Structures are given as C-alpha cells and as structure tokens.
Amino acid sequence: MVKVGLTGGIGAGKSEVSRLLSSYGAVLVDADRIAREVVEPGTPGLAAVVAEFGEGVLTAEGALDRPKLGGIVFADPERLRALNAIVHPLVRDRSAALEQAAGPDAVVVHDVPLLAENGLAPLYDLVVVVDAAPETQLDRLVRLRGMTEEDARSRMAAQATREQRLAVADVVIDNDGPLEALEPRVRQVWEQLRQKIVKN
C-alpha cells in the first residue's frame, strides 16, 4: 500500500486531481466528505458542535448550517480551533478505518485540505500538492464558485501559505493552466505511484 497525502489551497484544483486519481483506481479517502458525514444529524459529532457553538448553527431541519458556522469560525482563529478539536479526531478515526479496508496493493489517496496547517505530512509515504498562483485561486473562487472577492480572500488567508504547502510537497502538480493540461500531469503522477507499489 502507498499512502498519499493530497492537498492544495482552496481553488487550486485539488478536487479535480482527486477525481482523476480515483478514476484511475486510487482508493480515495476524502477528509472534507468525511468531515460532513461525522456531523450529520444524529451523530455524536453534531451534538458536540451544538454543545460548543449553540443551537444557532443548526438549520430549521436540525442539520448543520455550514455557511453560518463558517461565518463564525473563519473570522475567529480561536473558534476555528474549537471546531477542529471536535471534528479532526472523528475524521482521523474514520479515515484510518477506510484505509484499513483497502488492499495491500492499493494506492490510498487521502484528500486533506489542511494537511500543511495541521502538520500531517509525516503520516503519508508521499505528499502531493496541487499548486496554483494565488491570483488563479482567487479568480476561480469568484468566477466558478460565486464567492465575493472578500470571502474568497478570507478563506485563502485562513489556510497555509503557498510556500508552507510547497515546503511539505514530495510531488507538485502545477494547475495554473487549463483543465486539459492537468490530466496528463496527473496520469504521470499516477504511474509513479503504481511504480512504488510494484517496488514495495
């Protein structure tokens, strides 16, 4: 098994890279998706979030109101730390279970947005960083995701810097260009990962 940590700043294209790797046969462990699952209605995770942040972070249906919670935590590093202290251990345990279920010949790709921020690089055999210039990220967030420039900049500022991410990278996938330029590069990285399995 090869354990890969995949990360990249918001708007860099990490989701597209993880989708491509998954389509080639990687076992994908998506931290964002798991982070949503562990706070679904009826979970101990959601109960802990409500205990910390109050009923105001729930929708009328009793689900987590992500935009409301995001507005609280992205503006306040202390509150963000409190949220992470609840969610991260739950995500870590679920990720470990999914990894255990993969076979010995698997390339397991952990899609981890906050890999650099949380010092998680040592957990993986290899760290792949999807990289794009900050102006490219900003353009994609505003143009493709409909964020305001102010919101996009604050989301970017809440993450590690580009330099911090590149410092933990074993492999960098440059995604400043068009989508069609990305696929051959990701395919190349996949071949490298398969080679590692063969060597092991």
Whole-number Å distance between alpha carbons of 196 and 135: 34
pLDDT at 113: 86
Do the beta carbons of residue 10 and residue 159 sit within 8 Å?
A: yes
Please determine, for residue 137, whether its predicted confidence score (pLDDT) is greater than 90: yes
pLDDT at 200: 65
Do the beta carbons of residue 1 and residue 8 sit within 8 Å?
A: no
* Span 146-183, pLDDT tens digits: 999 999 999 999 899 999 999 999 999 999 988 899 99
In degrees, to the nearest 5, what angle opens at C-alpha 139 toward C-alphas 166 and 175? Answer: 40
| Strand ranges across the sheet with 126-131 | 27-30, 107-111, 2-8, 126-131, 171-174
The two three-digit tokens of residue 163, written as one number = 């330099």
* Span 25-79, pLDDT tens digits: 999 999 889 999 999 999 999 999 999 999 999 999 999 999 999 999 988 999 9
Where are the chain's structural domains? 1-26+106-200, 40-104
Query: What is the CATH class of 1-26+106-200?
Result: alpha beta
Please determine, for residue 199, whether its predicted confidence score (pLDDT) is greater than 80: no
Whole-number Å distance between alpha carbons of 195 and 80: 39
Question: Which fold, 40-104?
Answer: Rossmann fold (3.40.50)
Whole-number Å distance between alpha carbons of 17 and 111: 9
Query: Residue 123's CB: how many other CB atoms inside 10 A?
Result: 16
Residues in contact with 158: Cβ distance below 8 Å, sequence separation at least 6, in sequence order: 74, 80
* Span 75-127, pLDDT tens digits: 899 999 999 999 999 998 998 899 999 988 999 999 998 899 989 999 999 99
Whole-number Å distance between alpha carbons of 185 and 165: 19
pLDDT at 130: 97
